[in-house]
Amino acid sequence: MPKLRKKTSSKVTRLQAQTRVIRFCNGVILCLFGLSLGMVAVATALPQKRKLEEKELEFTNIISREREVMALKEDKQAAYEALREDPEYLEIHARDRLPLYKEGEKIFRIERNR
């Protein structure tokens, strides 16, 4: 009987060794599967992140253009109000832009080549 015990114990140790190897392989496979899922998640997020950065840049450009337009609008509005309500500004503007002058004044204009 002692021989049978050795055979059964050797079978058990061999099965235990195989089980350890299989568990190790399963652990490695599970880790690789987890890494591959992580890589897929990162790979799908990269194009979206790039699009987000492009949209943010486009948004900042639009905001800066809007600020420029608003500043120009305010300047034009101020000039319009001054033309409507301030006679001194209207006189200065008319003398500068139009060939208007008071009697007895001499006006010298310097024309630039455009």
pLDDT in 10s for each residue of the chain, 114 residues? 445 445 667 888 888 889 999 999 999 999 999 999 999 888 888 888 889 999 999 999 999 999 999 999 999 999 899 889 988 888 888 877 877 778 888 877 777 887
Amino acid identity of residue 1, one-letter, is: M
* Residue 43 falls inside a structural domain: yes
> Per the structure, how many domains does the chain have?
1
**Domain membership flag for residue 79:** yes
Task: Please check whether residue 56 lies inside any domain of the structure.
Answer: yes
Residue 81 lies in a domain: yes
Q: Output the pLDDT for position 28.
A: 96
Q: Give this prediction's pTM.
A: 0.49
Q: Within a domain: residue 110?
A: no
pLDDT at 4: 47
Cβ atoms within 10 Å of 82's Cβ, excluding its own = 15
Is 108 within a domain?
no
Q: Does residue 112 lie within any of the structural domains?
A: no
Q: Is residue 104 part of a domain?
A: no
Predicted confidence at residue 55, as pLDDT, reads: 96
The first and second tokens of residue 1, run together, are 């009987």
Which residues neighbour 95 within 8 Å (Cβ) at sequence distance 6 or greater?
A: 101, 107
Q: Which domain holds residue 54?
A: 2-97
Angstrom distance (rounded) from CA 60 to CA 70: 15
